[in-house]
Amino acid sequence: MQSKTRPIEEVLAELDALQLRDPEVHGKRLFGLVYPTGREDIEALVHGVYDRFLFANALNPLKFAALAQVEKEVIAMAGDLVHRTATNVHGGSMTSGGTESILMSMLVSRERARARGVERAEILAPESAHPAYAKAAHYFDMDYVRVPLDGSYRADVAAARALVSEQTCVIVGSAYSYPHGVIDPIAELAALAGEHGIGCHVDACIGGFVLPFMEMLGHPVPPWDFRVEGVTEISMDVHKYGYVPKGASVILHRDDDWIWHQTFFYEQWGSGLYATPAIAGARAAAPTVAAWAVMRHLGVDGYKELVADLCATVERLRTGITCIEGLEIVGDPIGPLLALRSDTVDLYAVADVMDERGWHLNRNTDPYGLHLMISPAHRDVIDELLTDLSYAMTHHGPSKGKTARYA
């Protein structure tokens, strides 16, 4: 740190200069990491929340009673969307994001398995599952077993059946998956879990605020939520398609009491009982309140409107892509996430041209190709994107060797 105090204008100017290196987060050219709506009302509301709760700490619900109520109401609203019928809202908790929700869920399944006498529990997850499951295995001393995918990039249920062991404590399915945007066969995976009396975690971190509204709008959505017998946990991120800033996810348990497996209690110090339902101690309150406020503002009708618009944008993009020679959509993605492949063109070289033109498309490794998460604000740039993509398919050089990475 420098020794002298500096005026805030100077510090902010320095920050502005630094930020020029990052993509613009209202991000019409960014196809992942952020979920821009282009909606001024939502952004104004979030600013209003942050003004009010910037310095609040969600660690102690006894001190911040309003915050505790808001958190309970977010969990209840999320639970309603995925048909959670348990009566006690404490069967779920808010976390900082999808990864923490998944960590908590895996810990709960491990603890339930330990209670049955399983010493070293095993997570069974599709090859397409988010790395957070492998991270959970690493953190919590569990084994991680990967289930191969079938020809449509969904978990192969027969392979899963062959891989279940005495140690398996949970079977994972995504609704939908990050790499390919397809829903695993949740009903079959949950039935398999039910046969063995083990957990079935549905990762709806991306899909949780998309699929319920698609279903309400009449799109065919295969069963994936708590209406499927055998589904024990669902993770859903408000900070993705719930349209709030980072720091808000929900983990829901079918059984109210399972929450106690993820809650840590400690009294052996000089300051009384310390109890937290997830990994963090002190926690930013604003993301939770923003989740509450955006859900309260939009309501079911508001989300349906956004999802309807999003589906129309995705349809335009899909139609445009199928008209570009050599470019193909991977599998049959259900929602606003497309993976692209090509038999004839090096798509990393195409991505280089798109990078030069100011687009931020993601690179996939399996299958080798491109990856786009589509947000409502992209409605305005689809034509330009397709024009540039079409150009890049025929005007690229060799790949510059940029790899796919999230680190």
Ligand X SMILES: Cc1ncc(COP(=O)(O)O)c(C=O)c1O
Q: Is 232 helix (H, G, I), strand (E, B) or coil?
A: coil
* Count of C-beta atoms within a 10 Å radius of residue 7: 8
Give the nearer residue to ligand X in terms of CB position, either 206 or 289: 206
Query: Closest separation between CB of residue 245 and ligand X, Å?
Result: 12
**Tokens coding 10:** 């100077």
**Cα–Cα nearest to 89, from 79, 98, 104:** 79
Q: 199's torsion region: left (phi>0), alpha (psi -120 to 50) or beta?
A: beta
Q: How far apart are CA 93 and CA 235, in angstroms?
A: 10
Give the nearer residue to ligand X in terms of CB position, either 209 or 327: 209
Q: How far apart are CA 155 and CA 183, in angstroms?
A: 9
In the block, residue with structure tokens 């998460």? 373
Query: Closest separation between CB of residue 193 and ligand X, Å?
Result: 18
Give the nearer residue to ligand X in terms of CB position, either 250 or 392: 250
**Cα–Cα nearest to 38, from 382, 395, 399, 388:** 382
Query: Closest separation between CB of residue 49 and ligand X, Å?
Result: 19
**Cα–Cα nearest to 208, from 180, 248, 170:** 248
Q: Which residue is nearest to ligand X (CB)?
A: 98
Query: Closest separation between CB of residue 190 and ligand X, Å?
Result: 17
In the block, residue with structure tokens 């309140």? 289
Give the nearer residue to ligand X in terms of CB position, either 95 or 342: 95
Query: Closest separation between CB of residue 14 and ligand X, Å?
Result: 28
Give the nearer residue to ligand X in terms of CB position, either 118 or 290: 290
**Cα–Cα nearest to 132, from 237, 209, 59:** 237
The dihedral built from the CA positions of residue 209, 210, 212 and 216, taken in this order, carries a sign that is: positive
CA 199 to chain centre: 20
Query: Closest separation between CB of residue 98 and ligand X, Å?
Result: 2
Query: Closest separation between CB of residue 13 and ligand X, Å?
Result: 31
Give the nearer residue to ligand X in terms of CB position, either 238 or 293: 238
DSSP code string of 4-53: S---HHHHHHHHHHHHTTSPPTT-TTB-SS------HHHHHHHHHHHHHH
- How do strand 362-365 and strand 143-147 relate by DSSP bridges? unpaired
CA 52 to chain centre: 26
- CA distances to 256, 273, 276, 281 from 265, rounded to whole Å, are 18, 7, 7, 12
**Cα–Cα nearest to 354, from 382, 332, 320, 385:** 385
Which amino acid, one-letter code, is at 267?
E
Give the nearer residue to ligand X in terms of CB position, either 132 or 190: 132
Give the nearer residue to ligand X in terms of CB position, either 182 or 349: 182
**Binding-site ranges for ligand X (CB under 6 A):** 97-99, 130, 132, 174, 178, 203, 205-206, 237, 249
Query: Closest separation between CB of residue 249 and ligand X, Å?
Result: 6
Query: Closest separation between CB of residue 3 and ligand X, Å?
Result: 38
Query: Closest separation between CB of residue 197 and ligand X, Å?
Result: 25
Give the nearer residue to ligand X in terms of CB position, either 132 or 171: 132
Give the nearer residue to ligand X in terms of CB position, either 70 or 373: 373
